[in-house]
Structure 1
Amino acid sequence: MVNQNGKTVVVKLPMEQPHIDSTETSPLNQRLRDNNSDISSSPSSAVASEQSCKKLIHSNSSNQSSRKLLLNIIIDFAVLLIVGCSITIFFLIGEPYERGFFCNDEDLMHPYHISTVKHWMLFVFGIIIPVVIIFTTEICRSKTGIDEEHDIKFFKWTISACKQNLYKYIGMFLLGTISCQLLTDIAKYSVGRYRPHFITLCQPVLNADGSDCNDTKNFNRYIEDFTCSNPNVTDKMLKDMRLSFPSANSSFSFFTMTFCALYLNARLQWNGTQILKYFLQFILIAAAWFTSLSRISDYKHHWSDVLAGSALGFVLALFVCQKILKFKRREKCLANLKLPIKYELNTHNQNSV
């Protein structure tokens, strides 16, 4: 600045002090301020203060990871609950599509038989056995120390790699199973196809004139307005008559057994002969194949129902294992193999050549 005498006068302006927000009272910021003041006042406490800050930051990040993991677990159980409730709604209040039939349709005149594979047998072979196989395999893998995952902290608990794998594989197995059942129910109630024993079990009577299928005038006649005259038929059986396509037993057995076979192929580490491993996989697929064929021989389903159900379960198991869980066959890498003989370069012979 120039004054009246022509001299230059330098005026020093006061420097602006940084504004400190008094509202910043978070525990972390307050702890950092205290640590900084401790460091300036006492140099000997610098190391201890730095370690306490690191512990505090690590504790906050650990709590955030635990909360995120808890949220994922809640979402997983919510999805299982939603799919399970959907199946229950179909079972309780669902009404299959009402279609007609022909009295001379031979595919609907088969006798009524009791199922060869009971529901409790299907539950044991389809649910309990795969869960036991997954549980046993993961325990054996944890004992041998070949798990790829590391232990994680969940609040005050430590979750081992074995428990993580059990949660992942059993959870995906159960989710895939009930998803397969839901897709099957959607098709069943949308199509409403009659079972092969429909005419035998229902004994339909036309509401228009009271005639039945033994009357020749009803041959080649598409009948929609009828009533089942068999007094032994319950409402549950009347509903079940219209749920032939696709076969739920076939889709269920093929999904569970195919999933279990692919799981064994990817996770079971067997140093002995591979024949036993392949034999176990063969037994699983054979059980699903027998269950599906029994639905045809028991006149519970048409052959096309069994084919559609088997294909649905098989394809869904492949999708879950290959695209979601990403099962891959473990093969030995040639780079990790050690040769029994160590070859060395003889520089003397090389020079002589």
Structure 2
Amino acid sequence: MPAAERLRRLRLALALLLLIAVGLAAGLLAGSEGWHLSAMADPAGGELILWEIRAPRSLGALLVGALFGLSGALAQGLFRNPLADPYLLGSAAGASLGVVIVLAAGGLLGASLPLAGADLIQRLGLVGAAFVGALGGVTATLLLARGAEHTTRLLLAGVVVGVLLGALNDLVTLFSPDALRGRQAFLMGQTGLLGWPSVTLLGAALAATLPLAWRLSRVLDALALGEDSARSLGLALPRLRAALVVLMALATGTAVAQAGLVAFVGLVAPHLVARFVRAPAGYRLVASAAMGGALLLWADIVARSVISPQELPVGVFTAVLGGCYLLVLLSRRGLR
């Protein structure tokens, strides 16, 4: 590897570590009244605010973004498409359907939504429904595509499943209008109720998926050379593709279940990594996870402080930023 490329990779790694470290510190300072240390004035209340509210929220946002960044890098490598994102295989529509069904069946009205202070049992019910729905959407996609052997068929199956599950979403909300508010809150994305249990679950998911994705990164490197070249290397592509899809579904499902549908992080993070370095898939996966974590961490800090004491839904904020980034990127490429 040339020394210049090694230096670029080192600079990117250090920059991401610095962004994350400063972001975690800023997350302890950003509150409903702006940026200050007033929470520390009262030792008892300050400790509660810092370590029971702001610290788990910041760490949770970091981990959610890391899972989305990892999923986006897996999706773009697997489909060999720079516009692939973690929601391609029906996970988003499935998670939304799971939440809507729970809200409609249980009669959980506005006061019982996570954003409005749901109790622990109701919160776990919505989280579990979103996770099961996300994995169910991916499973339906795999069944429709008859496995993960053909990426084009898998992609088309994901589009079909997404449309069908979206129609079921609309049908359920038609008969249960009270579930519409819960679905809307879920679609906007939220980090406000990420606590230490969420951080533990998200950390466990990242610790399980990232090392396995690293071990399978050689498959993505081989696929970048083409299907025939990958087969000539003796790789069992159908089985390895299925393993990559499962990892992507697990990472996406866990993140979506905890924070809702946060847009564009999984799509933009691999793009930013590719703009700075050219590296094997293993490095890109880890760097994309770190980039996604840094992006969502800082987006959450801005979303909760820019119009304090009110908060912007972090999913709406990332959608605006991500959409602007892609528009700029497309306009620059169009001028070449």
Q: Decide: shared fold, TM above 0.5.
A: no
* Structure index of larger Rg: 1
Q: Select the structure that is richer in helix.
A: 2
How does the TM-score come out when normalised to structure 1? 0.26
How does the TM-score come out when normalised to structure 2? 0.27
